[in-house]
A and B are shown apart, each in its own frame.
Chain A
Amino acid sequence: GAGVSQSPSNKVTEKGKDVELRCDPISGHTALYWYRQSLGQGLEFLIYFQGNSAPDKSGLPSDRFSAERTGGSVSTLTIQRTQQEDSAVYLCASSATWGRAGANVLTFGAGSRLTVL
């Protein structure tokens, strides 16, 4: 596609429910990132996928958070048993393989705004 697509754009859920957030990166981009941005805060690293390599999960805040990337393309971020502190905008970004044109640019999606009541 022309850009990074994320869905849903907005999600309101009740505490304790599970949620899935989806990211469609730019076609051909091998690198995919998930970041979390709480209101007025910075870009908190969550997880990084690069090609077929094992993902860097070091930013996931707890074992309630997990992410997959199927076929090297679409990624799903799952939050189990959501808590109010999980409320934030979850941003996905992708980039091309280093050495290829445009590889220096992270293209961000519009984000998924999660509100946990």
Chain B
Amino acid sequence: GENVEQHPSTLSVQEGDSAVIKCTYSDSASNYFPWYKQELGKRPQLIIDIRSNVGEKKDQRIAVTLNKTAKHFSLHITETQPEDSAVYFCAASYNNNDMRFGAGTRLTVKP
């Protein structure tokens, strides 16, 4: 099955700075790469996703990039705010089947 590696495990940034989280995947057949955000005590929720037919996708302050050749993808958060503090999970799958998650990154945004 798919194996997803994620780093860093923890990330601390100053409010207003950018944050970058990186993931690699093992299965070249994977074509769908979502990112989930889990706030303390809550369930994970989808924040952005990308499919293998595009290299980059943006939604306001967040963006995701994908390098299919290298099998890695990244989440970029600009102008970070304290409410961005959470655990972020990357994931990979083929057509949303058999979704496997990375180990998560705990992002802390310091005011």
Contact = CB atoms under 8 A, between A and B. Distances in A.
Nearest to A106: B99
Contact of B44 (A31, A104, A108): A108
Interface of B: 1, 6, 32, 34, 36, 43-46, 49, 89, 95-104, 106
Nearest to A111: B43
A50 B44 contact: no
B104 A42 contact: yes
Contacts of A45: 1, 99-101
A82 interface: no
Nearest to B9: A42
Contact of B103 (A33, A42, A50, A111): A42
Given A35-B101, A41-B103, A56-B98, A104 B43 contact: no
Contact of B97 (A50, A58, A105, A108): A50
A91 interface: yes
Contacts of B1: 45, 56, 58
Contacts of A103: 96
Interface in A19-53: 31, 33, 35, 40-43, 45, 48, 50
A104 B99 contact: no
Contacts of A33: 99
Contacts of B36: 106
Nearest to B102: A42
A48 B1 CA distance: 12
B104 A98 contact: no
Interface string A90-117: 0100010010000111101111000000
Given A42-B102, A98-B96, A104 B89 contact: no
Contacts of A108: 43-45
B89 A105 contact: no
A107 to B, nearest CB: 9
A103 B45 CA distance: 14
